[in-house]
Each structure stands twice: as structure tokens, then as C-alpha cells.
Amino acid sequence: MSPTEPHQLPVTRLTGIGSQTAARLQKLGIQTLQDLLFHLPQRYQDRTRTYPIAGLTPGTTALVCGNVEYIDTPQRGRNSVICRISDASGLLSLRFFHFSVQQIQQLRPGTQLSCFGDVRMGFNGLEMVHPEYRILHAGDDPTETSLTPVYPLTEGLAQSTMRKAVRQALELCLSHADALQDWLPTAIRHHYNYPDLVEALLTLHNPPADLSAETLANGELPALKRLAFEEFLAHHLALLLGKQHYKTWQAPTLRVNSAAKQRFLSELPFRLTAAQQRVIAEIEADCSLAHPMLRLVQGDVGSGKTLVAALAALAALSSGYQVALMAPTELLAEQHFRNFSHWFAHTGTPVFFLSGQVKGKARATTLEALADGSAGLVIGTHALFQDSVNFHKLGLVIIDEQHRFGVQQRLALRAKGQTTGKVPHQLVMTATPIPRTLAMLQYSDLDISVIDELPPGRTPVTTSVVPSERRAEVIARISHWAGQNRQAYWVCTLIEESEQLQCEAAENTARYLQESLPDVRIGLVHGRMKAADKDAVMQAFKQGDCDLLVATTVIEVGVDVPNAGLMIIENPERLGLSQLHQLRGRVGRGNLESYCLLLYQSPLSETGRQRLGILRESNDGFVIAEKDLELRGPGEIIGNRQTGQIQFKIADLGRDRELLDDVQTAAQRICREHPEAINPLIKRWTGGSLQNLDELFHTVYSP
């Protein structure tokens, strides 16, 4: 594609777009004409017909025509101008708070006006506040032939500027046959009854007057579906391509040493579940091949993923290769470090630890051991894939709690194995169950295993939804609970996405709870504490020297204290369901009964109520994830989990999820029948994010 193709031209080529407007458009991610065309209206206004004034109802938005009857200029004590207009059916007041002398002069009685605005009930009957109005001359028709788009804007950018720019871009693309080529193969387009690309864009930017507002608002329009479909398809293809590419590389063949494995299992205080055994077998089979494994293990909280990882590690170690396990938080990395140290003690393999907190001599020693190969097993945070870390013979990379890491980080860690001329196998584990269709899109570059069984003897957590007015009761319950020598968590959720505020809130809560509960031993952990302090608090809690742990969502993943069977989550309405489920997974770890109280801030919205209800009714992470997706409104972002996930321009995983199955079928068909469309589609849609992926694949893996 040459950069001079019309749709690739910079927006500054349009009349009326100077450098200042271009800078504002850039804030919306718009640089080229194509970007502009893919910037869709958020809603539409209907100016295709005029309404008789008598037919207006408050709360609607309408176009009316009328004669100015009189204009009431401001007097002392009142700061608005009221102009009354009439048509054959009735009278309407127009109210202006800002006005110029010239404006008042224009609105002389007898002047014919068209007005567009929101209708409301005023003191003197129906009125419009600051309507858009135009003075009509004989023969003027105030109506428009298509619905008027309303675009998302940014500071300093006028709706009219945006409309004019889009109109020009559309005209330009219509007048050049080669502009904005439709890369969705015709056969596929016809199969799903989709309009072609330009037609779809025309419909969305200038919808015909007969389209119902409802069809437009609920995203059912084939024109919109087509674009969402194409966008999903492009991302899916990019990931598939990445996977294919990766699978052509060489990886070490790892062989399971049965004796070592038997010994390892015999040291455990329990037997593997059937699901764990099945997934371990899948991993071992992958790793025995000369091509890299790329496998995602999904399993609900507490399903025993860590042990699956440990057995994969054992296979790599007994084949003479190094293993790196990366966790998303310091806390979780430390916990894995302790578990692995314990599990591998009998093997004589030392376990190393690396995080940003490991500094000075300790760091230097670890880096050296990794580089010369004397360290076989290392556990840490993302510090593991910094440039300064070199491995001698990395054979397996394990990433825990995948949803925290993006595609990019996944790739960067894969690249670490290169020194051997081979790339490492990669195992990714996530405790946030992803609905099947969604997983197929987000993780098309991975094969998927599911641990669909919990170890025996777990008692399900009883969840209640409690309004914050009953806080005192909840606090009394903690005192009673601690009196029975059981432990509890109090989780303070995210405030305004600011870690600092979140930590302050946790500090205040801990102080307040301590005042209310003088006999309860309260500990506090949050993300801004020093690692050593955090560790001390966690250890105290683990050993039962602390009854109540007040925490931010840092404790969400991994923390394992079976005696802690009560969790209070404050403001649960702020978090996504999967995240809440994950948090709740901290309790119910032993065989004692356990409880989770969702202490919400009332009033709760209808969706909020439904959401929390799902959590009360189900303990199954997969069910919860499906329902969460169903309840998601278009464009709604829940929690702060979007980092690392694919960002879509037009498609919406909630609204458009029913397309995902077809996307998969279409992708296979394109790979078979229309390979020439693959690259242009990927380029068109994944520009910023996945084009980088492609580059990464090439720079990192080209021999």
C-alpha cells in the first residue's frame, strides 16, 4: 500500500483542517482520512422532518419551524432572553442565557425560524434552551435528507468541524476507485449479508432518514456489524499468524523423567485431580516436540494451577533446561517462591528469586547464576524480562495470572531463550476464566487447556450482598468471627484508578476499624509499602498473629491462608465480576465454612444489582465470566483490567460478541482461499498495537 492512497492522506489535506485542528484530531487517534472515517458517530439527531409545535413532548429532541411572535429582552433581575415562536399548531418559548445585541435584533417579530433542540417543560409551557436555530428565507427547506451524526469530540473541536471533515473524506474516497479498498472478500461479505466497506461507512456517517433510532442505538445495523466483524477478524488473523510463525521455530525437546516425577508426586500431601493430570499430560506432550509450546491453562481460583506449573518445570529441569516463572505482583511471586522452594527441596535444585526489589549483591549473584546456567529455576516479577537478564539455556517460561500481561510482554519473554538458538516453551496460566469465544479472540496465539475441577473437600463460599448502611453490623460480625479464632480480610477497592488514593483509603479504613474493634489484631497491606514490611504483615497473617487483614486489591491473586474464611469487599460495584470472583477466591481455601460480604454503596443501579446477584448465586468462574460479558453495556469498561487486552476502535466485546464464532470460521476461510487479504486487513485495523507484534515477531525471531 503506498502512503499516497487517498485514505492514507493526512487530515491536513482537507479544507478547513489546519495544524491546530489536526492536533486536536490526533488526540482522538485520528491522523489519516481513514482514521477519520473509522471514527464513528456516537449517536444521531433527526432533522429529516419538522414537528408541529403542539405535537412536542418534553424530553424529546426535535426540529420545528415557526414565526417569531415577540422577544422579551432582559430586564433587571432576569438574565435570559425569551423568544416566543408559533406555528399553526401552538407556541414555543426559546430561552437564551448568552446572547448578543445583534442576535436580539435578528429575532424580530415576523422572522421565520427553524429550531433544533431539546424540549422541556418551562414556567410558560414548552421551551427549548439554547436551540440551534436558523433564520429561514422564502423557499428555504430546513430539513436534511439523512440523520445528523454526533461525533465523540475533544476539547476545542466543534461538531461542525468534524462533520465537515468527515463529509470531505467520504467524498474523496467515493471519487477515487482505489481509495479504501474493501479487503473483506466478496464471498464472505455476501455470506453474512454485509454491505461493502464504503457503503457501510456512508450509512454510518449519513444514515438514511428511514432508519429507526432504535436500530442505530442498539448497534444492530449491518453496516456497523460489518466493521466490527472486520476488526475482530483482523486481530484474530494477526494472532493466528503470530502463532504460526512462532510454531516454525525450534524449541528444546523436553523429556519427562518418570522416576523424578514419581518422587515429586510422592512428596505431596495430596493426589492430583483428574483435571490436573490431564492438563499436565497435554503440557508434557507439547514440550516433547521440537517446536515451542504456547499453551494457556485456564482454571478457576483454587483449581491448583501452581502445581501444574511445577510439574512442567520439573520436566524442563530434568532435561537440563532452565525455567523462569513470572508472576504479576511481588506478593504472588514471593508466595510461588516459597511453594516451589518447598516442593523442589528434595530435588536439590535451588530456587532463585528476582524482582525489582532484589538489588545489589543479591541481584548480581542471581544474574550471574542465570547467565552461567547454575541457576535452574527462577521465580520473579516482570523484572525477569529486562534487558539485563540473560539466560544460559532457557527451556520453559511460565507466566502466572496472564490477564495482567499483554501480548507484548508475552513476546518479550519468549525472546529470552534465543541464546540457545532455540526459543523456550511457554506456559501461561490464568485464574480469570475467559468465555470460550472471547478466549478464541484474545488468545488466538495460544492453545488452551482447562482445569475444570477443584481439589476435593472445598466448601463453597457463601456470598451476601450488604448495603453500606449496615456497616456497623458487619464490623460486629468481625469481632465475633475473630472471637472464634478465625481470620478475615477487609478489601478496599480501587478509587479513581489511583494507587495512592487506594492506599490512603486502606490506611484510613484500617485506622477506623482498629478504633471500632480495639480487641482485634489488625494488619494492613497495600501496594505502596516496602516489600519487607508487606512480607512481615503477610507472614504474621499466615501464622495467625493477626486477625483481620485490611488490604487493597493487591491480595487479589494467589494469597493462600486457609484459616481466613471471611472477606468483606468494600464498594464491590466498582470492580468487574471476574475480579471480584478472584478476590473471593482468597477465602474458602480450607474445609471450614466461609463467607464473602459485598458491602456496596447504595443506591445500586439495576445492572449493579444484577451483577452482584450473579456473584451471590454462583461460585463458578466460567459462569460468572459469561454473565459478566452478557451484562456489559456497549463500550463499558469495568475495573482497570483493560491493560494488556486488545483495544478495539469500533468492535465492542459486549455488544458484538455474537460475531466471534463467525469470525473464527471466516478467518480459516480467508487463510485457505484469500491469503492476499490477510496482510492488508491486519495493517488496516491493528496499526498501533498488533503491527508492533508483527514487527516484534520479525525482529525477534528472524534467524
Binding residues for ligand ADP, per CB under 6 A? 270, 272-273, 276, 299, 301-307, 431, 455, 560
* Residue 367 zone, left/alpha/beta (φ > 0; ψ -120 to 50; rest): alpha
Distance set, CA 565 to CA 178, 385, 439, 537, 571 (Å): 65, 36, 31, 18, 19
CB of 487 to ligand ADP, least distance (A): 16
- Residue 383 interacting entry, from ligand ADP, Mg ion, none, C-beta within 5 to 8 Å by type: none
User: Which segment (22-30, 336-344, 554-562, 649-657) binds Mg ion by CB under 5 A?
Assistant: 554-562
Q: Which is nearer to ligand ADP, 14 or 301 (CB)?
A: 301
Find the residue with minimal CB distance to ligand ADP. Answer: 304
User: Which segment (31-39, 536-544, 551-559, 583-591) binds Mg ion by CB under 5 A?
Assistant: 551-559
- Residue 299 interacting entry, from Mg ion, ligand ADP, none, C-beta within 5 to 8 Å by type: ligand ADP
Report whether 453 contacts 304 (CB < 8 A). no
CB of 546 to ligand ADP, least distance (A): 20
- Residue 303 interacting entry, from Mg ion, ligand ADP, none, C-beta within 5 to 8 Å by type: ligand ADP
CB of 355 to ligand ADP, least distance (A): 19
Report whether 573 contacts 604 (CB < 8 A). yes
Q: Which is nearer to Mg ion, 333 or 670 (CB)?
A: 333
Q: Which is nearer to ligand ADP, 306 or 319 (CB)?
A: 306
CB of 662 to ligand ADP, least distance (A): 33
Number of C-beta neighbours around residue 410 at 10 A: 23
Buried b (16+ CB within 10 A) or exposed e, 228-243: bbbbbbbbbbbbbbbb
Report whether 344 contacts 377 (CB < 8 A). yes
- Residue 32 interacting entry, from ligand ADP, Mg ion, none, C-beta within 5 to 8 Å by type: none
Give the x-and-dash track for 499-538 against Mg ion (CB under 5 A): ----------------------------------------
CA–CA gap between residue 406 and residue 469 (Å, rounded): 39
Q: Which is nearer to Mg ion, 422 or 586 (CB)?
A: 586
- Residue 560 interacting entry, from Mg ion, ligand ADP, none, C-beta within 5 to 8 Å by type: ligand ADP
CB of 187 to Mg ion, least distance (A): 45
Q: Which is nearer to ligand ADP, 276 or 322 (CB)?
A: 276
- Residue 270 interacting entry, from ligand ADP, Mg ion, none, C-beta within 5 to 8 Å by type: ligand ADP
Q: Is 354 helix (H, G, I), strand (E, B) or coil?
A: strand
Query: At 632, which helix (H) or strand (E)?
Result: none
CA–CA gap between residue 119 and residue 414 (Å, rounded): 60
- Residue 272 interacting entry, from ligand ADP, Mg ion, none, C-beta within 5 to 8 Å by type: ligand ADP
List of residues 6+ apart from 17 with CB closer than 8 A: 11, 25, 161, 165
Closest by CA position to 662, among listed 434, 441, 443, 435: 441
Find the residue with minimal CB distance to Mg ion. Answer: 558
Number of C-beta neighbours around residue 19 at 10 A: 8
Distance set, CA 116 to CA 74, 103, 244, 627 (Å): 23, 17, 55, 41
Q: Which is nearer to Mg ion, 304 or 417 (CB)?
A: 304
- Residue 513 interacting entry, from Mg ion, ligand ADP, none, C-beta within 5 to 8 Å by type: none
Q: Which is nearer to ligand ADP, 335 or 664 (CB)?
A: 335
Query: At 427, which helix (H) or strand (E)?
Result: strand 425-430
Q: Which residues are at the interface with Mg ion (CB under 5 A)? A: 558
